[in-house]
Amino acid sequence: MSFSSLVQDLTLRDSGAPRRRGDASVSTINDAASRTSHISRAMSYASTAATSVSISGDISSQLHAGYSHPLARSWQAERQLTKSMLIYPLFVSDQDDEEVLIPSLPGQYRRGVNKLIPYLEPLVQKGLRSVILFGVPLRPGTKDALGTSADDPQGPVIRSIQLLRQRFPHLYIVADVCLCEYTSHGHCGILRDDGSLNNQLSVDRISDVAVSYARAGAHCVAPSDMNDGRIRAIKLKLIEEGIVHNVTLMSYAAKFSGCLYGPFRDAAGSTPSFGDRRCYQLPPGGRGLARRAIIRDISEGADIIMVKPASQYLDVISDAKELGKDLPIAAYQVSGEFAMIHAAAKAGVFDLKAMAFESTEGILRAGATIIISYFTPEFMDWLSN
Ligand SMILES: NCc1[nH]cc(CCC(=O)O)c1CC(=O)O
Ligand SMILES: [Zn+2]
Ligand SMILES: [Zn+2]
């Protein structure tokens, strides 16, 4: 028997099981005894062969066997994407009856409070479990240097929280906490005269806003401002208010600066009027800095650690999983990532749904247990679980 015919004999021998021809991955030798004898024949052959290539008893080289079936393929993943892992970002404006498409964010709208319920109704029916709210004040004169309108009881976020709690008792409501949507300068805090962030004033203000959202009924508050020490400040204030026991604190712990937030800033009208966010959001190469921020926020009392953006920072997600091995890890697939996938799909580079799944699977593999995604409504249709 020649070397090649032995290999053929090994891999394509009829075992009685149904088998597709010409597909090397469906070599099926069902019978354990016959498998053993074939392998030992291969071993003895290989050991005497002059060209002793590596089929020599190489049981460990046989990987295809583990994923020849779709179900077995799914078993290779540590975590399967489920509907309950997804949080859907919503932009709520102060124009109660408005529903306006956001041009740079395909299929996403800015909605007034009155448009929210009818839009969410079918999604909740399909299994939507959680949303994250971003307020968008459009009325002229609403913004000022202190972001005063962020916790206006008549503002879009607080009214939406109350309405959603009432209407959808099983929907988990996350409120993004930041000032950039509400400040005249568009930065994520209160500024000194020289234009830099006044950390102490910012943290005081942001923790007040977080408490207001929590009091309104948010299940979770998520500060995205990146001021130092805001996790501790919010936690302490929630304790002081006596509501700490049922308000989750999700930290945007590793939030990187860069060009992937453009469509969001269009949607939220939160582009800084001068400068950029590089003195508070992390530098893209700063893996160590991200680890320090994650460690810090865990020690300050974060209940969930978030990494953002997602696909460009899979190593950081993996670090977060390691550093926060006892915490849920969230990843935010941000507006720019979403827009890129749409643009590439439109250009015929790949199929939209296939890439939505592939990118999400990568994020889960890196260690995320929660994904904030603009694809969430699609996933309600795409996932049957
Ligand atoms: N603090 C603002 C905020 N909260 C969430 C996002 C980004 C979300 C996205 O791009 O989808 C941003 C943008 C920014 O920091 O400029
Ligand atoms: Zn901000
Ligand atoms: Zn924010």
Q: What Rg do the C-alpha atoms of the chain give, in angstroms?
A: 26
353 noted as active-site residue? no
Atom 15 of ligand 1: nearest residue by CA position: 261
- Residue 15: its pLDDT value, please? 41
DSSP 55-69: TTT-GGG--GGGGSS
> End-to-end distance of the chain based on CA atoms, in angstroms?
51
Q: Is 279 annotated as a binding residue?
A: no
Closest atom, ligand 1, to C-alpha of 263: 10
- Looking at residue 60, what is its pLDDT? 79
pTM of this prediction? Answer: 0.86
For position 51, what pLDDT does the model report?
Answer: 53
pLDDT at res. 384: 79
Residue 259 annotated as part of some ligand binding site: no
DSSP state of 51: S
Cα(88) to ligand 1 centroid in Å equals 14
Q: What is the structure's pLDDT at 56?
A: 62
Is the backbone peptide bond immediately before 272 cis, with ω within 30 degrees of 0?
Answer: no
The answer on whether 73 is annotated among ligand-binding residues is: no
User: Which positions of the chain have pLDDT values less than 50?
Assistant: 1-17, 22-36, 39, 42, 45-46, 49
Pick the CATH number of 91-382 from 3.20.20.70, 3.10.310.10, 1.10.10.2520, 2.60.60.20: 3.20.20.70
Cβ of 165 less than 6 Å from ligand 1: no
CA 31 to chain centre: 44
Q: Which residue has the tokens 């077995």?
A: 72
Residue 308 known to be catalytic = yes
Residue 270 confidence (pLDDT): 87
Report domain extents, the chain.
Answer: 3-54, 91-382
Per DSSP, helices labelled H in 269-313 are 287-299
Other beta carbons within 10 angstroms of residue 136's beta carbon come to: 24
Does the beta carbon of 183 lie inside 6 Å of ligand 1? no
The catalytic residue among 115, 235, 237, 255 is 255
SS3 173: strand
- Among all bound ligands, the one having the nearest atom to the CA of 261 is 1
What's the pLDDT at 203? 97
Q: What is the ipTM of this complex?
A: 0.94
User: How many Cα atoms occupy the beta-carbon half-sphere of 127 within 13 Å?
Assistant: 15
User: CA 246, CA 171: separation in Å to the nearest integer?
Assistant: 15
- pLDDT score of 54: 56
Identified catalytic residue from 308, 325, 346, 353: 308
Residue 89 to residues 221, 306, 358: CA-CA distances in angstroms? 13, 14, 20
